[in-house]
Amino acid sequence: MQNIRDKISLLCKKSDMEVYMDYMDKDISAHRLPVEKKKEIIEKSIEVATKFYEKLQADFGDLSVVEYARKLSIPINYVEEKGNKYFTYLGLFKEKTQTIVVNFETVLLIKRIGKQFNLDNLVNLNMIKDAVIAHEMFHYFELVNPDIYTNQKIIDAKIFGIIKTKSRLLAAGEIAAMHFSKLLTKLNHTTLVYDKIFAYGRKLVA
């Protein structure tokens, strides 16, 4: 059985397409889609993420993630909330108030897991907060730009198993948010590592 370090090392070595394809394969709404359809959704989601990254660069230049949030007038709320076995979160975007929430309780726990399992030389543990803010910032863009690809109804669905319709695929928005976060933080590994460190190590950390 692989230990945490081996799992994280493998994840860090994967290409963006491999990471996002794995994510699609585990998504309850997307896992049955044909491979070519998954690739199309991933490529279009990456395209959207890149577009917003390039727009920020063009509008404001090269700034820190927090400075971009300030320029966009997006409030950031830092909290410390303990999770439970049913729900724990790292970051949220509250649409009603258009506020990004960062849970430092989870940020610090991920850092502790990373230190305990010697992940420092694999993963940048100092960029967790910025990665979370950047991820949720993309969801802000989704809110204020309702016509973008990740908001569209792009997969076939059925109501009551009978009526054919189209459904929005949430995985597209999450993939775009992950990619946008990676671009904005300039990390050389996927930001998904932070979620995986938490998932693999939360019950093992001292």
Enumerate the domain spans of the chain.
Answer: 4-201
Nearest-angstrom CA–CA distance, 54 and 177: 14
- Average pLDDT of the residues in 126-142: 98
Nearest-angstrom CA–CA distance, 95 and 46: 23
Q: Measured in whole angstroms, how far is the alpha carbon of residue 132 from the centre of its chain? A: 7
- Does 161 have pLDDT greater than 50? no
pLDDT of residue 162: 43
Nearest-angstrom CA–CA distance, 19 and 26: 11
| Burial class for 1, CB neighbours closer than 10 Å (0-12, 13-18, 19+) | exposed
pLDDT of residue 168: 54
pLDDT of residue 155: 56
| Burial class for 59, CB neighbours closer than 10 Å (0-12, 13-18, 19+) | exposed
- Does 167 have pLDDT greater than 70? no
- Does 87 have pLDDT greater than 90? no
| Average pLDDT for the chain | 89
DSSP-based three-state secondary structure for 15: coil
pLDDT of residue 160: 34
Residues 6+ positions from 118 with CB-CB distance below 8 Å: 5
| Percent of the chain surpassing pLDDT 70 | 89
